[in-house]
Chains A and B, each alone.
Chain A
């Protein structure tokens, strides 16, 4: 199993350009997420999806759009890139597991996409 894969690994954009980041998972997980990671800010949730055809806003959704047309794929779009969107983007997928009587949601992360907006 490849787990969670992200395409591309690196990208440099100019202000105002658009792009799409692709996330794919082969674990048949229902839930998928997009995070951004910035120095001193930790991981912040951009958008998430609880199933095929559904999406929801996270903590920092402005300037991003997402789509989940197929269960295994979650796309993150930047319509008009800004320097403030320079970051490392992580995709994750998750399933519900149990430890004793406690249910938990383990998130598996992809390797990340390093995006620079000039």
Chain B
């Protein structure tokens, strides 16, 4: 079993929809959670960074962590065609490590 599981998609939604992207994990020691966005044939770029449980909002993006269920989510409100990309979750147990465990990524397509 992989430490981090992520539905590969693809996920197709109409423009303006609310998108929910999710990851589950097995290691209860994970404390730091990140979401990266990767456009086709580009490198990943950091979208959101959260620590422990709770929500964090940044514009149209909300990251949610539920440590009791070992489940993290990224919500995109008012989705746009420019949001079409692969979204990767990543996590690490402490801030003192440089080693992140990445999910396999979910491919999202927002249709105009």
Contacts and interface: CB of A to CB of B under 8 A. Distances in A.
Nearest to B104: A42
Interface string B39-75: 0011111100101000000000000000000000000
Interface residues of B, number: 23
B95 A103 contact: yes
A85 B2 CA distance: 21
Contacts of B90: 43
A102 B100 contact: no
A103 B49 CA distance: 11
Given A104-B32, A104-B49, A106-B49, A90 B104 contact: no
Given A40-B8, A42-B88, A99-B49, 17 more contacts: A31-B98, A40-B104, A42-B102, A43-B90, A45-B100, A90-B43, A102-B95, A104-B49, A107-B100, A108-B45, A109-B43, A109-B44, A111-B41, A111-B43, A112-B41, A112-B42, A112-B43
A-B complex: 4 closest residue pairs judged by Cβ atoms? A109-B43, A43-B102, A42-B104, A42-B102
